[in-house]
Structure 1
């Protein structure tokens, strides 16, 4: 009876020891650190223009703190602690940071999990480049959530594991304060010129931190009650002095020495926001400026081009019914409006049939704009002369369209050299069997009905995509007439390329216009078939190989590029050459259908894939509709189930890979080491199954210890296997491959015997264990227990 009672008490003591509850002193440390973090995070208010950030910020603080406390109570090591914190971050982050993306209001969805990841990585850059108050994108609230989650996790872990187990020195407390200080500084740096309660927050933060540092020691137990009262009184007096001094000195210094509002340092004033081309007029809308106002002006000089080359200025893939423009960066991260800061080397273009151009030199004349004239897809751009030579920090590039911009603008005298890849000329025969590439482009809006009807009329006899596009190009080029609307033109041609101008072009008895209208009409017709088409504006001067050419406004042109799978963006030039426009009759179609394909404005241009040439786009709306046959909630429910399963089984899969690699390396070693590796693998697997494996002892001692833990009916002669391993290792004899394989077979049989009879929970947990990590955790736990016992 006495023995049973003693065993029960011992089991209860072990259970209590396993669950390590924080002491009152540790709870006080946690409360101080979290309070300091709250004082710091309130400084986010100017960036958000209100208190909407408090829910994700305080939620992140609670999630991080709870993760740290739970990990400390269950004595989890570093890796399990991180896993617990990450699981809590993703499971609770949806409801706290992006509730509008949640499934049923609180459950994670694929969109919310993506926002929690993207916001943690890219939200910091967005919050200092977007104008305040920051309200978009939707993942912006993830910034205060992830910041407070991380600070709370680190601060609580330090308080429960580090401060509680070591002497409470001032420098250790200073290390614990790094997290709250980081939050405080972050709220200042990503804020605005208007501080939020800077004096009150600063003094409160300083006073609380100083009091905490001053009261870090407790009175010794051996001190008399009288001495303890005197010491407490002195501490209270000192604390009062600290508070008064901090308020008077800190507040006064803040009032007299604080910088002026316009001198306040915040990152958003130092970091230039991403270039937004939508703030500038569409380059194509200024087409007539070149043809009528700067016709003979030398815009720039180019040296190094070949006959047939064209100069690219801007690529436009979005149509809103009024004009063609670039895609806004908020609509597509890989669209034509997404420009990234680059250096001399530019991203390499892979979606192209390449033809190299080297040392093409541009020298700016009367041209003055942010769009950088270039050729093909530039691989490097080096300013060599003029004012722009020191402005490479302002160069931005879109790798999917081959378009560069200089935010400070080009000026007369600027000069730069380009190495580029251009799209090789492709004939109609080359494209006869080539499918259209699958490329993501923004949808066309406001396209007139006449575009679709005319496209079907022109391409009625064609079957392949290339044949349809060539038929449309020939119809426009042979039935239409060219006019820039100059006084010298026989028929006036109205400017513009919106829906009304395209209706006017296609419904009149005579099609009259210039590259602006024909390129817009052709691109809309190609889009009506579902083909990825974009409009390119540039210049097509007459070029003689090896000679420099002066580019004037009269050389301006526009063409259309269509993406073909495995080929690249192929150029089509639908603009007619005929300028003699009949006055009284409907013109007859020209009888010379140029058999050769497209051709950009008499040049082979470059092409590039907005994404990459993926699978071909064989169907249109029918295939798109098939994806939405099931209700949307079915997909959301499926993802909500799959994501927790992934969090459960992916770590198991990773641990399994580590174990398999460990066994493979041991088994593939030379036979002498392979036999020893078989024993090491046996011992590791027994440890991972939960058996107690003694350290720093002989193989025979380990075998005897393990045999004592295995039930009688599953008894395995591990001692004989240990003896055989010792003999193989220390005998110095040659070990055959057969003996090595036999050792591995015996070891695996012993492990299987050790598995039999274990419950399912123990076997399941073994899948997550790695012996090296388990031994490390045991050493850390033993060390801490020894230190606490000594204290």
Structure 2
């Protein structure tokens, strides 16, 4: 006994073209991830993924493998692509390890959560790249198989559109719009639909000798219509981009904060309160050692925590920290910033915050790497799940601007209603409310005003024995008193500068860190005695410029110099970031910012609109089928009613995927259906004889024949869906295939005379 050998299936040129177009339609969704990964290196992984998925899909179709075999081959191929690309760091030589299996499982199951909780740009490796490969493998495998097997013109377009929608969610953070790649996707999709619809029409509309031949020019109608449908959305997209109808992509809804890492939360309320205890530690504790390359420009201090929220009592931060990779984004400095790289070794760091230089761009741990590192693209702060262990070593690259780069024309960044860096709570004392204006007087430029405030605070006595605290009351006590016991230290001075800068209308914050004291050979040993705090103001094109309002050598109160336009440039510390415009005037009383539209609301609106469109599409199909059935049932004569029953029966078989060739006679079509469905189409054979009579001898059809024809049509519907298959009939009723069949003239409802 021999087993029948499966014959290979040959692919037509049209099927190969459809598969290639489907793969090309995946390119736009992949281009979105340039801003996600910050590099084009991931494209090689995408190419390997698409090639592997295409080979697996084509092999399954050509060799006619069973579904279980196709799935198994696809899974093996997927793992074969993931391991050497995304998980190469877990291999022992060329062999997978336990870590490989763990990372593979986590990436496949929860890689989507990792992608939604990572700080951008993400490193193209590990669990993030695993899920990226998984998405593109599924999309490529599905689109190729669908393009070859399915006949629906729009079927191969669905996977690329879904991949593009997922990509938009994943890359929601970067500013900007994606009209270019969207236009590319729409173009490829419409071209593919146009070509497939043309081929399906040609296959379904094969003419016979007795059919009329349409003019040759009509053959171009589908192509011209397809080109029109392609150009219209492209023109609409260009117009929308030019007019800003859909916005500029600045305030994009981002799902990333909805997947926070609970371990990346500061363990103290405000690091500002730790400055004085560290300064009073005896003996001082070594905190870290920073080693810079020879000849490098070194910033005056390393920053630990940036505090942006002030409630009248405490400076805090509510930064959202996302899992960080080696490359860090945000805070673009446009005016040729100084870039510095240092090797930092931790000795005894008292908090979860990671010391940084200016605005950090790259972070690489070389010893005692923490389990999780978070980065805030808003403030430039880094945090770990636990305080860094002694002996932890990392290399950090940062950018900053020197204070001497500021000129009198430099402008602070414009403020907005929803900006937390300018808000001040009420209940400020009358003295503190008017003090900034008294200090700055008639100074016209922002740099001069901030320099005058900085000079005023540096002339206040420094006293480490002063009471702690940085509330409105503490600030007022320090700037208004004349007695030694009412003097302050860095905690009050930094808080006072930030408050007065905001009162003048500038974005400001308080930063806690450590001063750097050179010890030779590019090495800086930092101890608890170097703890300090300063204030920073955000300047357009320069980023955060640090002002040090504390003079540790000042022991007596010195009256400030009269305010004038020639006030000297202040002493400053580090710097970071860069953005937008200007504001020199005093800010009004804080107002509640307008409520931004939640991305959840936007998603629900999009989902509701999609459901409504799908619902309208479904209703249109059902309504058109119902109207056509009634028209056939109530045709003008008996022969036309029999022909209508036959056409309804043909429609039911078309819904099940049976090809409708118009060159077939009713008897030939019934035998064709019998070869596929067997006894389930017995009623069709009897109906075929009546349909043949209705076409060629309509005068022999009476009322009973018409009634029997529709009884056979109902019997066919019942026989096609016996038992549990009846549920499937609900799905086939939604199929638009019968609405696309082009009827040949011999099968149209006859208009013969009524006997």
> TM-score higher than 0.5 here?
no
| TM-score normalized with structure 1 length | 0.40
